[in-house]
Structures are given as C-alpha cells and as structure tokens.
Amino acid sequence: MVKLKSFMRELRKGWSGYLFIAPGYLAFLAFMLIPLLVAIGLSFYTVSFDIKAREFVGVQQYILLTKDPIFKTALLNTIEYTAVIVPVTILLALVIALLIDPLGSRAQAFFRGAFYIPGVAGGVVLSVVFLWIFNPTYGLINFALGRMGVEPVMWLASAPFSFYAVCAVVLTFTIGQPIILFQAGLAGIGPEILDAATVDGASSLQQTFYIRIPLLRPVLLFVLATQTIQVFQLWEVIYMLTGGGPYNTSTSLVYLIFQRAFIGANYGIASAMGVVLMIIIMIFTIIQLRFWNSEDV
C-alpha cells in the first residue's frame, strides 16, 4: 500500500512528462501489443472471413504446421536468407565504413548519404527497379551477358537464381544503416589509442584487426541483432519479385503468413505461424542480450 501511494505521488509529480510519452505508448498498445495478443488468441481457433464463426481447436494449428511441407520450406528459406544476407551485409558494411573513415567529413557525409538513400526508398521501390534489371528479355544484366555471348538467364523464374536475386535486392536497401552505425563506432574510438599503437610500431592493418574491430564489438552485436530481425521479417521484396516461386523456393515465413491470412483467409493457421516466428525472434534476441550484457563487451 505504501509503495502504491509512493508510485501515485511520483506519477502526479511528473504528469507533464508522461503526457509527452503517452502517444508512443498508445501507438505501441494499439498497433503492436493488442494485435499480438489477438494473434496469439486466434492461433487456437480455426478462423476464416467470418471471424464470429471461429471454432476452438487448441494446439491443433501448431500440430498441422509440423506436417505442412510448405511451412517447413518457408522456414528453411527464411533461415537461409538470414544466413546469407546478414553476414554479407555486416562484412560489406564494415569494409566500406573502414574505407571511408580516413576521408574528410564532406566525403564521409556523401558516401553515408549515397548508401543510405536506397534504405529510404524502401524494398518496394527498389524491387520495381530490379524487376527491370532482372527482366529476361530487355533487362540490364541479360543485355550485358548477351554482349559477352552468354544466353539470357531467367533470374526470377529459376530456382537457383531467384533466391539470390532476392538476397541482392535486400542487401541493396539494408546496408546503409550498418555503414552509418559502424562509422559512428569508428568515430568514437579515441585518436590517442591509435596514436599510441602507431608509436608502438603497429601498421594500419594491425590497428584495424587488433584495435578498431575489437572496439566495435558492441556495434557489431547490435547490427547483428537488428539485421537478423529485419531479414526474418522479409516479405515485400518476395511479393514484388518472385511471388515465392518457383515452387516456393524463394518464399519466406512472413510471405507465407501473408498468403495464408489475406489470400487463403485462414487467419488461425497464419496466426500460429506468426507466433512461431515471434518465438524464434525472441530466442535470438535473448541470445543477443546475453552477449550484450556480458562483461567482455
């Protein structure tokens, strides 16, 4: 009772501050927490267009997922997307950040803007551009290959290439933010540390591998976590480029959720897939937080 009175007293003292943060919390409740709880509830029902005619089935939806080959394919594809896109994004972003770090402030600002603009454009806009680039008849890539005597390639309609085409587009609009974060991390390294290493005879390459990259570890962990979560939620590029084809070889878990919910009107099974995805992301986040809170970071 005493703690409740103390809490109410503190609440009255800072009422103006709470008013400023209230819109953010209300948006979180309306667009994230409440829909999340509703989705968890729907995963235990069979629900179609008539949401009032739902039928409670318990964990039957989750059992069906273990027997659904398309779900297994989408989950495996999502893991493969993450395994390919995230390491390549981090490696390229780190290399680019290290290359532009010695440049002047204007040059750094130019390159940061150049790499970040595709991220502002978004996946849908870039997908439209890449639809032209990957076009088998008049696309830029096949035109260049044709000039070298190579036969046209069906980039978006053949299993080996559609997967990597999606990876290339996602890489284009996700690499900008990591570059900026790595740049900020490099700027935070004190020049006296590098000057001391230079005095001790360390080369630029040795300073990069033994000083800069180890000091960037917190930024690396943050980029790893955010990029992984972003790739796990990939769907708009697949929707625009391949539609999950051919034969679901490029589909992702979120795109399959979209198909089951808004095309197949099976909201129960789609909600169950969403819960599975949420659990996977939560497990990864917990692992990241354990590294983040470790004394070595």
Region 210-237: mean pLDDT is: 87
CA-CA distances (angstroms) from residue 271 to 25, 59, 136, 257? 24, 12, 37, 8
What are the start-end ranges of the E strands in 76-212? none
Q: How far apart, in whole angstroms, are the C-alpha atoms of residue 4 and residue 10?
A: 10
pLDDT at 178: 92
Asked if 57 and 65 touch (Cβ cutoff 8 Å), the reply is no
pLDDT at 195: 78
pLDDT tens profile 281-292: 888 878 877 776
Q: How far apart, in whole angstroms, are the C-alpha atoms of residue 134 and residue 126?
A: 12
Give the type of residue at 65. Answer: L
Q: What is the pTM of this model?
A: 0.83
Residue 140 has pLDDT above 80, yes or no: yes
Q: How far apart, in whole angstroms, are the C-alpha atoms of residue 186 and residue 182?
A: 6
What does the DSSP 8-state code read for residue 53? Answer: G
Q: Which CATH number fits domain 68-265: 3.40.1410.10, 1.10.3720.10, 3.30.930.10, 3.90.1150.10?
A: 1.10.3720.10
Which residue carries 């929707």 as its tokens?
239
Of 267, 264, 262, 254, the closest CA to residue 71 belongs to 254
Confidence of residue 20 (pLDDT cuts 50, 70, 90): confident
Mean per-residue pLDDT of the chain: 84
Q: In the structure encoding, which two tokens stand for residue 139, read together?
A: 């696309």
Q: Which three-class secondary structure state does DSSP give residue 272?
A: helix
pLDDT at 49: 66
Region 63-70: mean pLDDT is: 88
Residues of the chain with CATH 1.10.3720.10: 68-265
| Distance spanning both ends of the chain, measured CA to CA | 40
pLDDT tens profile 257-268: 998 888 888 888
Q: How far apart, in whole angstroms, are the C-alpha atoms of residue 80 and residue 255?
A: 15
Reported residue count of the chain is: 297
Question: Cis omega before residue 246 (within 30°)?
Answer: yes
pLDDT at 297: 45
Region 252-280: mean pLDDT is: 88
Q: In the structure encoding, which two tokens stand for residue 199, read together?
A: 């005095």
The share of the chain scoring above pLDDT 70, in percent, equals 92
Q: Which three-class secondary structure state does DSSP give residue 55?
A: strand
Q: Which three-class secondary structure state does DSSP give residue 151?
A: coil
Q: How far apart, in whole angstroms, are the C-alpha atoms of residue 228 and residue 244?
A: 20
Residue 10 has pLDDT above 90, yes or no: no
pLDDT tens profile 116-130: 888 887 788 888 888
